[in-house]
Structure formats: structure tokens, C-alpha cells
């Protein structure tokens, strides 16, 4: 299994080399800088960047940071395109004047070490862990061992922000007993190294770690259950643009290409669902969120 770190590192090095060559040649393709979260990079940018270069003659320099960076660096002109696993935080000026273009659907999946005997958790189980009401695997039908819940230290990073809104309708619920780490790679690595650890990760990113995804209320996370809404924890992945960008036409070409039928198989192969293939989730998602909050 290829690790998340090696996938993104190798990809970033390759597109940076292309970007450098493009920038040095006035006759070459248009060079644009993308900054964003690792999940959107894995699910959308990595599968489509080569085709974008070949078909549209646009080369992306990829800088993997976070959803917050993906939004805010675009607004201040330090990136041409952003990537984000969450929508803007309402009321924050530093996130107000950008446009969000949903390009894929991503499942949020509880993952554990392969030696963990559990195969399923309920929504209620996850909410109890997040609130600190459950601290031993025995309480969930597992072994007598402490639960080590791993989460990102930045509530706005992406997964955690969406998870809290989906399950509680608010980000004001504290991760009472979570171990907080600095980036998504450390989350996957921690779970892969500890039979007592658990985290919630992007389905696309989790595939690059030696971890075991758990079913949610008996439903496995896969392309079909995500697309139908049967798997209930999901979110859009966004590309973010600044309306005032001088190369707005080129940025719109990027969005149009990423939404095109040509690259949809590549996005599906990366573990996400192209946004336009499951627009029904926009409507279903509101009902699903209401049910998740009530459980």
C-alpha cells in the first residue's frame, strides 16, 4: 500500500518540476498555483492534473496545506486556486469574498488498526466517543482496552469541522478525550501504529494507510453507498476561486475540466464521487443531517 505521504510528495515534486519548466518558457502552458487540503488533493487534483496539462495546457503547482489555507490564501492572492474539504465559516471576513465550486463527494469513514476486531460502529457510538462518554473498547463490544481517539488540532481543518456540524449541528462540542495532532498524515499514521486507536478520515485518503474502515450502522463506505446516500457521513470537496482574479477565464476552464465527463472515472478511482453524479445528495443531505443530529 502506497502511503499518503509518498503519494503526495511524489506528485508535488513532479508537478513542481513541470511548473518550473513552464514558468521558464513563455511559450509553454499557463502555470497556476493550487493550495489546499490533502483530501481534495488526493481525490481531485492528483487524478486530474496530468489530463489538465495535456488537454487545457494548464500546469498546477500543488502546495498541500489545509482547507483553511486553501480558502484564505486565495483571498489574499497567494494562490490561484484553493482546495477545501469544508465550506466557508460564516462571519469570518478572511473567508467571505471567495466562491466555492463543489467538484466531488467524499465519505467520512471511521478507521481503526487492522487488528481491532470491531467491524461496525453506529452514529451514536461515534457521538459518544466525541463527547467523551465512551473510553474503553469493551463498551462498544470490543476488547478491554482504552480508546485512543485521534483528531486534528485545528477544528477548521476540514474533516473535524464537517463531522461536528453533521453530527451535532455545531462546532461548539469539545473533543473531550481526543488526542490532537498537527496534520492529516499524523492521524493516519497514528491509527496504523496502534491497535487501540481510531479516527475519522476521508475515504479517499484512508485508502493510502494500512488501516481498517468500519461500517457505519451496518453500511460500508464505498462509491455506490456514497452516491446513493445510504452511507450517511459525507461532504462535498471544493475548489475555491477569488472573483477578482485577473485570470478568471483560465480558472473557470480548470473548474469546467474537473467537472467534465472525461475525468470522472479518475475521480471515482481515487475514492470519491464526481459532484454532478450525485447532486441528489444536496437535498438528501439536509434530511440525513437532521437524522444524524437527532440520534
Share of the chain above pLDDT 70, in %: 91
Task: Please state the length of the chain.
Answer: 295
- Using DSSP's 3-state secondary structure scheme, residue 248 falls into helix
Average pLDDT over every residue of 258-270: 97
pLDDT at 88 over 70: yes
Strands, E assignment, the chain: 30-36, 58-64, 81-84, 99-112, 120-121, 148-152, 179-181, 197-202, 212-213, 215-216, 234-241, 273-274
Cell of 129: 466517543
Residues 290, 161, single domain; the answer is: yes
Same domain (yes/no): 24, 85: yes
Specify whether 17 is located in the same domain as 83.
Answer: yes
The reply to whether 266 and 241 lie within a common domain is yes
Q: Do 72 and 133 sit in the same domain of this protein? A: no
Q: Are residues 11 and 41 both part of a single domain?
A: yes
Q: Are residues 35 and 11 in the same domain?
A: yes
Q: CB of 85 within 8 A of CB of 106?
A: yes
For 241, the domain range is 4-105+236-278
Whether the per-residue pLDDT at 21 is higher than 50: the answer is no
Number of domains observed in the structure of the chain: 2
One domain, residues 27 and 93: yes
The pTM assigned to this predicted structure is: 0.91
CB atoms within 10 A of CB 123: 18
pLDDT above 80 (res 147): yes
Cα(279)–Cα(261) distance, rounded to whole angstroms?
15
Residue 136, pLDDT > 90, answer: yes
Q: Are residues 155 and 289 in the same domain?
A: yes
Asked whether residue 243 falls in the same domain as residue 218, the answer is no
Task: Report the mean per-residue pLDDT for the chain.
Answer: 90
12 and 92 share one domain: yes
Q: Are residues 159 and 262 in the same domain?
A: no
Look at strands 148-152 and 120-121 and give their pairing: unpaired
| CATH number reported for the structural domain that contains residue 138 in this entry | 3.40.190.10
Amino acid at each position: 500500500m502506497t502511503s499518503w505521504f509518498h503519494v503526495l510528495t511524489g506528485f508535488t515534486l513532479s508537478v513542481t518540476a513541470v511548473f518550473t519548466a513552464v514558468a521558464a518558457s513563455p511559450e509553454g502552458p499557463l502555470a497556476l498555483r493550487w493550495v489546499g487540503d490533502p483530501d481534495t488533493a488526493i481525490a481531485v487534483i492528483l487524478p486530474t492534473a496530468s489530463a489538465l496539462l495535456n488537454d487545457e495546457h494548464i500546469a498546477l503547482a500543488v502546495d498541500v496545506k489545509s482547507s483553511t489555507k486553501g480558502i484564505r490564501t486565495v483571498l489574499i492572492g497567494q494562490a490561484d486556486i484553493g482546495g477545501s474539504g469544508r465550506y466557508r465559516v460564516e462571519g469570518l471576513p478572511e473567508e467571505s469574498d471567495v466562491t466555492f465550486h463543489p467538484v466531488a463527494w467524499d465519505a467520512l469513514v471511521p478507521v481503526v488498526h487492522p487488528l481491532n476486531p470491531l467491524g461496525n460502529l453506529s452514529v451514536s457510538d461515534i457521538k459518544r466517543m466525541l463527547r467523551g462518554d465512551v473510553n474503553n473498547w469493551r463498551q462498544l463490544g470490543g476488547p478491554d482496552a482504552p480508546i485512543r481517539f485521534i483528531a486534528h488540532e485545528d477544528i477548521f481543518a476540514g474533516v473535524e469541522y464537517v463531522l461536528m456540524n453533521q453530527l451535532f449541528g455545531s462546532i461548539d462540542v469539545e473533543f473531550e478525550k481526543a488526542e490532537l495532532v498537527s496534520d492529516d498524515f499524523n492521524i493516519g499514521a497514528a491509527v496504523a501504529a496502534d491497535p487501540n486507536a481510531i479516527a475519522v478520515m476521508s475515504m479517499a485518503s484512508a485508502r493510502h494507510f494500512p488501516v481498517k474502515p468500519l461500517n457505519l450502522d451496518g453500511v460500508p463506505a464505498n462509491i455506490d453507498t456514497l452516491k446513493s446516500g445510504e452511507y450517511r457521513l459525507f461532504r462535498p470537496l471544493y475548489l475555491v476561486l477569488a472573483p477578482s482574479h485577473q485570470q478568471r477565464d483560465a480558472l473557470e476552464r480548470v473548474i469546467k475540466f474537473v467537472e467534465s465527463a472525461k475525468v470522472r472515472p479518475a475521480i471515482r478511482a481515487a475514492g470519491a464521487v464526481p459532484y454532478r453524479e450525485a447532486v441528489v445528495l444536496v437535498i438528501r443531505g439536509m434530511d440525513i443531517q437532521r437524522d444524524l443530529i437527532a440520534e
